Amino acid sequence: MSAAQISSTVEASLTALAVSLRGVTKTYDNGVMALGPLDLAVCKGEFISLLGPSGCGKSTALRIIAGLSAPSSGTVRVARHEGEVQPGHGIGFVFQEPTLMPWTSVRENVRLPLKLGGVAKAQGRARADEALASVGLTDFADAYPRELSGGMKMRVSLARALVTDPDILLMDEPFAALDEITRFRLNNDLLALWRALGKTVIFVTHSVFESVYLSQRVVVMTARPGRIQADLRIETVEPRGEEFRTSTAYSDYCRRVSAALAPSYSGQSTL
């Protein structure tokens, strides 16, 4: 292969990446070494889960990708469909807590990022309604957060993250506080949205089962400072559904991910 061919191959593989972290470390002001060095590459349109013991730096990694926190060293690259941008741009973030404003309607909660971005009210309301439709909450646009169940609040939070049409969705244990039936339903709805919208998703979870069910890749992190312990590809027939959740392939993957996680909790505690 000629030098020109090699360089165009390298360029093509870089443009296919949504997120790339190289040698990223994070040491907080209190001296806690939270992360790294962490190397992680996520392709455009990929759905990956980050799994690891409590305190290993999963949220820190998401915050760095979102541009909410600066790495102590290393490089972070984030790309939108049309090219590279600063960390934080073209990104939607869903937190574990829905963090809705209780004094205003569901529609106004979802419109907030557009309002902050200066989008005109009528246009913002139309886009908020579209985002609410995508999460099945059209009939609740005028409701107040106190009138919603936990699962519905999380759907609103997801709609608020989608309303700016980000290419990358960062999700930090979004379903951890929900009961199992609601969680399974939201897992299925999230997969349907991901297939329909073609977003890149980086999903933090403590659940081996959830990570295997949702992701194309499960990235297992070591105990703090978090590094990559294992990177497992989950290959199965798409679209996924209850057939996959109850299959032997699913339990085999869960066993493999659990085995990859074991060194993180069988060593000395860093909690």
Ligand X SMILES: Nc1ncnc2c1ncn2[C@@H]1O[C@H](COP(=O)(O)OP(=O)(O)OP(=O)(O)O)[C@@H](O)[C@H]1O
Nearer to ligand X, 50 or 135 (CB): 50
Query: Among 8, 54, 86, 251, which residue interacts with ligand X (rule: CB under 6 A)?
Result: 54
Instruction: Please identify, using beta-carbon distances, which residue of 159 and 171 lies nearer to ligand X.
Output: 171
CA-closest candidate to residue 84, choices 75, 94, 93, 95:
75
Q: Which residues of 13-50 are buried (b: 16+ CB within 10 A; e: fewer)?
A: eeeebbbbbeebbbeeeeeeebbbbbebbbebbbbbbb
**Contact between 265 and ligand X (CB under 6 A)?**
no
268 sits in the region (left: phi over 0; alpha: psi -120 to 50; else beta) called: beta
Stretch that binds ligand X, among 13-21, 52-60, 104-112, 238-246 (CB under 6 A): 52-60
Q: Which is nearer to ligand X, 111 or 224 (CB)?
A: 224
Part of the chain binding ligand X (CB under 6 A), chosen from 30-38, 70-78, 142-150, 179-187: 30-38
Is residue 70 within the footprint of ligand X (CB under 6 A)?
no
Q: Which of 37, 45, 55, 136 binds ligand X (CB under 6 A)?
A: 55
Tell me which of 38, 40, 57, 110 binds ligand X, using CB under 6 A: 57
> What 8-state DSSP symbol labels residue 72?
S
Which contacts (CB < 8 Å, 24+ apart) does range 114-119 have?
A: 114/163, 114/164, 117/164
Rounded distance between C-alpha atoms, residue 96 and residue 99, angstroms:
9
The single residue among 51, 58, 107, 159 that binds ligand X, judged by CB under 6 A, is 58
Q: Which 224-263 residues touch ligand X, going by CB under 6 A?
A: 224
Q: What residues contact 28, with CB distance under 8 A and at least 6 apart?
A: 34
Using the rule CB under 6 A, give the single segment among 17-25, 38-46, 54-62, 107-115 that binds ligand X. 54-62
Quick check: 136 binds ligand X (CB under 6 A)? no
169 binds ligand X (CB under 6 A): no
Sheet holding 47-51: strands in order across? 91-94, 168-172, 200-205, 47-51, 217-221, 228-233
- Name which position in 11, 23, 28, 198 contacts ligand X (CB under 6 A): 28
For helices 106-116 and 121-134, give the axis angle rounded to 10 degrees: 120
Using CA atoms, how far apart are residues 84 and 119, in angstroms rounded to an integer?
23
The reply on whether position 73 binds ligand X by CB under 6 A is: no
Binding residues for ligand X, rule CB under 6 A, total 13
Token pair listed for 230:
């294992």
In the region spanning residues 191 to 230, those forming contacts with ligand X, defined by CB under 6 A, are: 224
Question: Considering only residues 21, 38, 40, 56, which one is a binding residue for ligand X as defined by CB under 6 A?
Answer: 56
Residues that bind ligand X (CB under 6 A): 28, 30, 32, 34, 52, 54-60, 224
